[in-house]
Structure 1
Amino acid sequence: MFAAATAATLGAVGVASADNPVGNLGTVTGNKLTGLDTDAPTWTTAAGCSPDSDGYNLYIHGPGGFNGGLVATPVTDVGFSTAAGFGVVQGQTFKDIALDNSTTIVPGKYTIKVNCVDQFAAETKGSFTRDIYFTSATAWQSNNPADPVPTTTALSVAPASPVTQGANVTLTATVSPASATGTVQFKDGAGNLGSPVTVVNGVATLSTTALAAGNRSLTAAFTGSSALVGNSTSAAVNYQVNAPVVTQTSTALAVTPSGSVQAFTPVTLSATVAPASAAGTVQFYDGANTLGNPVAVAGGSATLNTSTLAVGAHNFTARFTPANAALFAPSASVAVALDVTPFAGVSASENITTTVVAGELLISVANQNVVLPSPVMAADGSLLTTAGSLNPIKVVDTRAGNPGWNVSGQVSDFSNGAASINGANLGWTPKLVDKAAVQNITVGAQVNPANAIAPGASAPAGLGLASSRTLATASALGGNGTANLSADLALNVPTSTVAGTYSALLTLTAI
């Protein structure tokens, strides 16, 4: 009872403590890494208190009103231990501590201090401490905002080893947190692989074919973009690169033209190297003498052109030299013979051509309107008649082959919109106005008009232009040139036809 009463009394008045002293017994850890001023965290000591103590209290030191340290938990022995670390419940929130002491929380560093005390003697025997940082009046965190954000870097390599030297290997670095900005330098042992690679969303990647044979030690070193982003290096990845097995090659040679050529003839030497993936050069030889410079192999082929071969017998070969002797073996073709004979001169020729154009057949009428006089009554009073002539019709034939032509005509019924006259009542007598001297033209037969038949009636055979009738014909080999045609017209009109102006369309066709 005496100890309990003493503990209560001491808890009320507190135990004297220097301003923000460094803990000499170790550190405390909190049950959270970040929080608010309304929090009252639980803190755990790193070890038990010294044997000469029998209780503890909790103080918070910081800037402003917290400078001398303010009580957060009065002296108590609840959960106290000298044998192992123990939990300390912060008795008040940061905000309540400030209110009770008529002060405010300002941003800055605060020290959580758990003091081990001798309750009877009211003496502090040692302390555990922990720094926290208020970044505003209401929010705190356990890490110093001025310290770099810690990062970790992990490295993966694909494909899985072992691989053959020269294989394409991809190194992928994953940086945490993904928001960390900076670059990754990939390394093979102490040597750099390429240039630093920018980290994007926590990832940086490098592909290389330059790994040497052997057991490689690959790492990824992250460098932050600012002092507030911490650097980190991945664990080493042991990666086996095996020396390549030398691939045998073969070289074939073709010479074009083959067999025998005259001096100064262009000659092409074509070498084919297998496999086509073999990189290197081909040196062409004429006997023991080189021809030109080595030619790079592209897609398994190399070519040399020459027109300066001396007269005589030649034996050509092609020798392949690999770019990487560790990957491919050299090879040489069998000899290809070519006999170069003295120059016997050259000849030339010219092809003379001309093109006969197809030409065309044209038909045209300068004046498309033909007006016949008003019909008059026939002497016997059976019908009305009128007559006239077609305007000149020009036919021009410029066609190749001079196949001849035929011009025909066909008329529609005459109409004034309400009434009509049968087109078969129109007849003609074809005429040749003029022609070229070389043309052979025959005018068509006279076509008599029907005898004033009614609209819609069929004309007797051979009468009228309601059916297509020949105007003129030019014979084969006699049509080229220009001819002008015409025809005299005769129209019979039924006496029952009502008064008015009637029009018909005469269609002239040249074929």
Structure 2
Amino acid sequence: MLKNRVSRALALGVAAVTAAFAAGLAGAGAAYAAPIGTIEINPATGADTSGIAFTTSGACPSNATNVLVKVAGSGFPADGLNVVGNSPISTYPTAGNGGMIIPLSSTMRDYASQAGFTTLQGKYDFTVICRTAFNGTSLGDYTGAVWFTSNTIYQNTDPAVKTDTATALAVTPAGPAQAGTPVTLTATVTPGGAGGTVQFKDGANNLGTAVTVNGGTAALTTSNLGAGTHSLTAVFTPASASYNGSTSSNVSYVVQAVPAATTSTALAVSPAAFAPQFSPVTLTGTVTPAGAAGSVKFTDTAGGATSTLGTVAVANGSATLTTSSLPVGDHSFTAVFVPADPGAHTGSDSNAIPYMVGAFTGVSASETITTTVTSGALAISVANPQVTLPSPVLNADGDLLTTAGSINPVTLTDTRAGNPGWTVSGQVTDFSDGATHGINGQNLGWAPKLVDKAPAQTVTPGSAVPAARGAATGDTGTAGLKSARTSRTAPGSAPPTSPPTSP
């Protein structure tokens, strides 16, 4: 019993091998003809283990009875490998375009294994050969190709050739729209299979973040378009390197400002109608709506002239002004609302209220007036305390090294009342290099000068002080600036109109 089963299996195997061998022989001598059409490959993208079917763009010539399908490319023989053996055309169903639907009997991974390699890469060309059963001459070919972008993934388009895309932008509602109205921007990207994102833009500015394309469209709704004319675009960025990006045409969209809300202003005066001179009169302006921000200007028309009594900020819908300085006579008061944002609220005027201020009838009142007088100050300052003199040079007699230069200006500011006067003096210590070398301070002299002063201030520079002639270190003399010397003096006088300044 076991022997019979083995014999049957062996017989089937031999039959299969014989059929494949016959198919290979039938196709080995086929001569290629000029293509008469193309192959649509389905699915368009897939894996090395996917089933693949071809749909030819038309039927084989009428004298053809059979078809043979070959694949060629990296790893396969130069003249290709038969992937569909010599088969009658009647074996395959007819497509709507009149062409043939031919499924491959195995996967690309199986065909690679038959050819003795494992790595699928680059372009693989398929040829459907129209022929007769026993004559290898091609009567017409249909061609197509797939590209393996990795060892396991293919696509039916050349990854080196990018597909152009087009992006169209529609905006709803149709403009013009009022500021604050939700506006929807919809981008349509073609071809429909192009995945990626769309960045909507207003001029050079992004509107929100990029939106993922879904089913060929992407949409964004915003209420943040300000009043004015906007230039709206949609920029498509593909997710796949197989597509080129695209930008829609500009859509000019007008957004109108929200009309300013109307306000009204009412004026009340207390006491009503009449008050004697010097009595307090209170004017209260009430603005509707209460949330309108701005101020109320109170005006008074008297004797044919209009003046402003004061301007008061609106708080909680009202503003109040009290005055006791109205002259005797007839008056006409108004309250004028001035909005902080004219685009948000209109201005408005109250009705004029006539008012009489009578003669002073006598009152008893007192006020306490207080002021604080500061004592002022006398301040002296130097903007830069570092002074560097040029390197000393030998004098004409050859017995002394000398140098000269300007010290930095000294500024004195006097804000004291009464202008009591002041004197500035200067003094220097011995020079030292921080180690064992030094120069006696007597060897530095100066010639004070005035740089600037207040017009009302009298400032007299001090006398020039000559330097000692090479006083030795340790000399206890008082020459030069080793002793304090007057730089300038300002004697007491009428108070200056501004602080004096001197070096």
TM-score, normalised with respect to structure 1: 0.46
Larger Rg: 1 or 2? 1
TM-score, normalised with respect to structure 2: 0.47
Name the structure with the higher strand share. 1
